[in-house]
Structure 1
Amino acid sequence: MRGVKVIEKLLTKNCVSREKPSTYDCCVICSSSMVWRISQLFPESYIISNTACQVLPNIASVFFAVKNFEIPLIAIAGTTAINIEKFVNLNFQPAEIEFKLLKKVYENNIEVLLPLYEENEKQLNAALMEINIDTQIDNLLSIPEFENLVSEGKLYICGFILDESAVYGDKINFYLINFNGLKDPDEVRNHDLLEEIPEAIRKQKVKRIHVQF
C-alpha cells in the first residue's frame, strides 16, 4: 500500500510554479542521498546522481550539460554519509560494470589506507571517498573534450565533500578537495584562479583527510 500512496501523491500534489532558470551554473555529479540538499542550495544546478558519484556511467549526460548549457563548472560531490565499503560489497550482478569501476578504486587503495586510518573508521571512509572523487576527475580530464575546455579556462572540474559525519569540521559543510586535478590543499588554496574567494574561506574550506600522494 505504501507504493500506491506514493503514486497518489505524485498524481495529486500541486507543482510549485517557479521560473525555470535561463541557464545552469554548474553540473553536479553527486551521491543520490545529496540531491535534495543540492537542489535546495543550488537550484540552478544540472544534477546527475548515483550512489558513488561515478562519472563514466553518466558521461553522455555530463557532456550534454557542458555543451548544451555552456556550464563553467563540473562539481563531483561526495558525502561522508555514504559508506563506500558497504556499497562495494553489494552483490548485484546487473550493476557489475558500475561496481567494477568503484571496486577497482577500493582495491587499489585499501591496503595503503587501512594502516593509516584503521583506528578511525570515519576518516578511512572519507579518505576512500576523496580518492574516488579524484578518480572521477582524472577520468574526465582524460577525455580531450573536457581537458581542452579546462586548459582554455572555460571549464573548472572540482571535487567536493559534504561532511555529514564531523570528519573535517564540527558542522555540516562542503569542503573543496580537488581543483582541476590538483589534490594538494596548499596548491589549491594558493591557485591564482581561486584568488577571488576570500583567503579565510580558502583556509577553512580547502581541506583533505588523505594528503599523501
Structure 2
Amino acid sequence: MSGALLPRDIATWCAARPYLDVRSNDEHTLISYRLARALLRLRPEVDEATVLTAILFHDVGWKAIPADKLVDSVGPKPKYPELQRVHEIEGVAIARPHLQALAVPGVDVETVLAIIDGHDTRKQAISPEDEIVKEADKLWRFTSHGVKTICGWFGTPPKETVAMLEDFVLPQMLTKDGRAMAEALVAQGQAMAWLDDMMHVEAMR
C-alpha cells in the first residue's frame, strides 16, 4: 500500500474507495494520483496535500450516476452531458463528511471541495492545485490503462481511441508540463497501435 500512496493519504484512499467501484475509477484514481505526484515534482510551490486529497476524492460522485448512463455521459459526443456536472455535485456531497472526519493535517476541506466541484466541467483552473488535479485527471486517459478502458466504453480500436484523445483531449491540457506528458503518452499509444496493426496483418498472411 505504501508503495502506491504516501502514508498520509492511506486513510483518505480507504474512505474514498467504496465509491470508486464504477467506471474503473479505483484504477483511474490511483494512476491519476501517481501522475499528480509526477506533476508536483515539477511544481514544488503547489500544495501537495491539497492536490492529492482532491485527486483521491475527485470522481466519487460517479457512484451516484445510474450505471446504464455512465458511458453515454462522457466523450466527444455524450448523450447525457449534464451528468458530468451531476457527478461533481454528488462528489462534493459524498466527500464533505469524509473529509471533515479525516481532518487531514494542512488540508482545508472547502478548498478541496471547490476543486472537486468543477474538476471536469470548469474549463479554467481556479488555483495551481486545481490545475494539477485537472491535468492528472486528463493524463490518465492517455495511459495504456486509460486507452484500454476507453476502448471498452466506446467499442473503438486503440488506433482510433488514441487519435480521438489527440484531437479532443490534448488541446484541453492547461500546462506545458501536462501537455508534454500527454504528447509522450500519445506517441506510446500510436506506437502500440501500429504494432497491433502489423501483428494483425502478419497473422492474416
Give the TM-score normalised by structure 2. Answer: 0.31
Please tell me whether Structure 1 or Structure 2 has the larger radius of gyration of its CA atoms: 1
Give the TM-score normalised by structure 1. Answer: 0.30
Q: Which is richer in strand?
A: 1
Q: Which is richer in helix?
A: 2
* Structure showing greater relative contact order (alpha-carbon pairs closer than 8 Å, 6 or more residues apart): 2
